[in-house]
């Protein structure tokens, strides 16, 4: 009986996320290539199986639930897929874990393991394509590299700019060697300011440069031609209405506009409320229109100031007492209590994703631009 209820629930979740008729019609889906179950991580939902058993040997039965949702997305019309990585597998890291240790290297990836790491990634991408019929459009091999990731809350791996370049060069060679179509998505910045500012504290600590990605990565002729023509960034720490929401985006846009004029795109690939419009933090689950409108405000300015051409939320289903979910469940703390709870944030995002479809073009709209009141943007769809 529980199994039947469980299946009905996850089908309902898939419909809410991917169906235009029954849900919010997401047009892209991100798949986390896990680094392996890490007993040092204190949150069971934030440590993920790895397909790798040992070097070059894989168990393709793993990540069953994640693979189910990937297929469910495809069946409901999603045709854009991004694979992303929070940490290399534990055997490839300096401390043997999928999160970092204080002071232990500019990155947790072992010296000289770039080749093994990227072969592991491309082997997985190729298996998905050839055996399961899922082609990943993009692979993001470095996520929020400017943070140290020393805590035990979730998988994570810091990486200096030079570490990132080494991974990209190795990954580009392996992609071409194995002849897959996936394109590298270069660096997912954990905040907006790191695109144009160096992160001085971590730079001083490890004597390697972190941040200032536009200058240091996208101006590197040896790198920029090997990656997709988009920036992937996260909108955390830039959502306070009075002091950050507009100011941080205008600062980034002024530096990013030469790239946009040259055909590059800006993607928002992660956001939930960590700080919030008034700096009150993201603590406390909120299903109401208050949080939904706070999120819609961030989406609005990402679209209209930064000209974002993709916008993606952090996590679809959350068990937390926190403003990090579109759908909530109490399953984690009480496995016998299988439920899903829709938030109004889900439907606020849906008012963008259901109506601004891929290939839409934003057109000019005047007057509706009051950050404390009415905000509006207008789009032409293909039809």
Cβ proximity of 113 and 122 under 8 Å = no
Please report, for residues 157, 285, 327, 328, the alpha-carbon distance to residue 339 in angstroms, rounded to integers and kept in the order given: 33, 15, 10, 8
Assess contact for 198 and 211: CB atoms under 8 A: yes
Whole-angstrom Cα distance, residue 37 to residue 50? 7
Rg (alpha carbons) of the chain, rounded to whole number: 20
29 φ, ψ (degrees, to nearest 5):
-145, 135
Nearest alpha carbon to residue 36 among 115, 120, 111, 114:
120
SS3 52: strand
User: DSSP 3-state assignment of 131?
Assistant: helix
The 10s digit of each residue's pLDDT in 62-101 is 999 999 999 999 999 999 999 999 999 999 999 999 999 9
Per-residue pLDDT reduced to its tens digit, 196-234: 999 999 999 999 999 999 999 999 999 999 999 999 999
As a whole number of angstroms, the distance between CA 78 and CA 83 comes to 14
Superfamily of the domain at 2-380: Glycosidases (3.20.20.80)
Show Cβ contacts of residue 370 under 8 Å, excluding neighbours closer than 6 positions: none
The string of pLDDT tens digits covering residues 323-354 is: 999 999 998 777 667 899 999 999 999 999 99
Share of the chain above pLDDT 70, in %: 98
Is 55 a residue whose pLDDT tops 50?
A: yes
**Rounded to two decimals, what is the model's pTM?**
0.95
Contact 356, 367 (CB under 8 A): no
């Amino acid at each position: 009986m529980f199994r039947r209820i469980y299946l009905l629930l996850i089908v309902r979740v898939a419909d809410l996320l991917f169906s235009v008729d029954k849900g919010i019609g997401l047009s892209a889906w991100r798949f986390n290539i896990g680094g392996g179950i890490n007993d040092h991580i204190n949150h069971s939902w934030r440590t993920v199986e790895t397909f790798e058993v040992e070097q070059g040997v894989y168990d393709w039965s793993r990540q069953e639930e994640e693979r189910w949702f990937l297929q469910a997305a495809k069946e409901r019309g999603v045709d854009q897929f991004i694979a992303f990585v929070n940490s290399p597998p534990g055997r490839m890291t300096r401390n043997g874990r999928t999160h970092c240790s204080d002071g232990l290297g500019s990155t947790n990836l072992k010296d000289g393991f770039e080749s093994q790491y990227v072969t592991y990634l491309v082997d997985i991408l190729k298996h998905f394509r050839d055996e399961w019929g899922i082609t990943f459009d993009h692979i993001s091999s470095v996520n929020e590299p400017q943070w140290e990731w020393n805590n035990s809350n979730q998988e994570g791996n810091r990486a200096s700019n030079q570490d990132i370049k080494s991974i990209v060069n190795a990954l580009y060679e392996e992609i071409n060697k194995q002849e897959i179509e996936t394109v590298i998505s270069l660096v997912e910045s954990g905040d907006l300011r790191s695109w144009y500012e160096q992160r001085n504290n971590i730079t001083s600590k490890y004597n390697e440069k972190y941040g200032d990605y536009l200058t240091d990565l996208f101006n590197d002729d040896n790198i920029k031609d090997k990656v997709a023509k988009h920036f992937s960034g996260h909108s955390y720490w830039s959502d306070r209405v009075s002091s950050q929401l507009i100011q941080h985006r205008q600062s980034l846009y002024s530096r990013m506009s030469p790239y946009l004029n040259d055909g590059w795109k800006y993607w928002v690939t992660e956001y939930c409320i960590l700080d919030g419009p008034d700096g009150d933090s993201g603590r406390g689950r909120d299903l109401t229109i208050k949080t939904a409108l706070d999120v819609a405000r961030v989406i609005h300015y990402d679209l209209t100031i930064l000209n974002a051409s993709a916008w993606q939320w952090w996590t679809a289903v959350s068990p937390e007492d926190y403003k990090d979910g579109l759908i909530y469940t109490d399953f984690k703390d009480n496995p016998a209590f299988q439920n899903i709870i829709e938030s109004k944030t889900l439907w606020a995002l849906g008012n963008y994703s259901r109506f601004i479809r891929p290939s839409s073009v934003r057109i000019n709209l005047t007057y509706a631009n009051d950050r404390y009141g009415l905000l509006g943007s207008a789009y032409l769809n293909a039809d």
